[in-house]
Amino acid sequence: MSKKNVLIIGASSGIAEAVARRYAEQGSNFVLVARSQAKLDVIAADLIARGAKGVQTRLWEGHDTASLPEIAGFAWSALGTVDLALIAHGTLPDQPRAQRDLAYALEQFRTNGESAVACMLALAGHFEAQGNGVLAVIGSVAGDRGRGSNYVYGAAKAAVDALASGLRAQLFKKGVHVLTIKPGFVATPMTAELDLPAALTATPDRVAADIQRAVDARCNVLYTPWFWTWIMRIIRFLPTAIFKRLSL
């Protein structure tokens, strides 16, 4: 595998860091985008130590969709071409609070849905003009079917899934690949407070390895780890009469 020019939006997330470390070991160049300069500085120094050829950083808040065209332009100007863009930012909403606080629920939907959609749209034109590369976005298995325990998050990720599917069909004809990544449970700082089932919970590095293979193989949709393909197939096809009685 050769070095790449990599843009990561949400670069301080656990999965994004793990992905970046893998590409750094190949001598890749990076533009990293996140909301904390202190975290970006730490990540950049780590990537350089691991072999990255160069790292440039930009601050960005997830709701600031107006600045995305400028950030996309900066990335292409800094890197020349972008071989891989990974959209990885997000939050894990407090579902009970979302059920009683409309403003909070909509804020979470914007962060996990609208913002990621805006990122994809802001990058799509650059990829189309370039005529190659991979646009990857982290969705979730939660987007496959709305569940009672996290339907605000699931609805936002479903929007990401639908936009990526349409963009994949459009950009395929231009030589660009769109990858939708659907992790299950992952042990990251975002999930640190949750009591996740150990047997179903992956490390960020395992997910990053799957993402790297999916990028190289030009996969359309990645369930990671692999067994979520079968778990979600069962969940998607459960009859509603049964599904609505489950505590999922």
The per-residue DSSP string of 193-235 comes to TS---GGGEE-HHHHHHHHHHHHHHT-SEEEESTTHHHHHHHH
Which of 195 and 54 is assigned the larger pLDDT? 54
H-helix or E-strand containing 29?
strand 29-34
Residue closest to 204 by CA, chosen among 222, 185, 217 = 185
Q: Put the strands of the sheet holding 54-59 in their side by side order.
A: 54-59, 29-34, 5-9, 84-87, 134-138, 177-183, 221-224
Q: What is the pTM of this model?
A: 0.94
Query: Crossing angle, helix 115-130 and helix 68-79, to 10 degrees?
Result: 40
Quote the pLDDT of residue 118: 97
Quote the pLDDT of residue 9: 98
Alpha helices (H) in the chain, listed in sequence order: 14-24, 37-50, 68-79, 95-100, 102-109, 115-130, 151-172, 204-217, 228-237, 240-243
Average pLDDT, the chain: 95
Quote the pLDDT of residue 46: 98
Tens-place pLDDT, residues 189-241: 777 777 788 888 999 999 999 999 999 999 999 999 999 999 999 999 999 99
Quote the pLDDT of residue 193: 76
Q: How confident is the model at residue 248 (pLDDT cuts 50, 70, 90)?
A: confident
Quote the pLDDT of residue 192: 74
Q: How confident is the model at residue 171 (pLDDT cuts 50, 70, 90)?
A: very high
Quote the pLDDT of residue 195: 76
Cβ atoms of residues 85 and 68 within 8 Å: no
Cβ atoms of residues 201 and 185 within 8 Å: yes
Tens-place pLDDT, residues 100-125: 999 999 999 999 999 999 999 999 99
Residue 1 has pLDDT above 60, yes or no: no
Cβ atoms of residues 84 and 9 within 8 Å: no
CA distance 171 to 128: 7
Catalytic positions are: 153
Residue 24 has pLDDT above 80, yes or no: yes
Phi-psi region of 36 (alpha: psi -120 to 50; beta: other; left: phi over 0): beta
Going by their DSSP bridges, the two strands 177-183 and 221-224 should be labelled as parallel
Hey, what amino acid is at 12?
Answer: S
Token pair in block for residue 121: 């749209």
Cβ atoms of residues 134 and 218 within 8 Å: yes
Query: Crossing angle, helix 14-24 and helix 204-217, to 10 degrees?
Result: 60
- Least confident interval from 75-79, 90-94, 165-169: 90-94
Going by their DSSP bridges, the two strands 177-183 and 54-59 should be labelled as unpaired
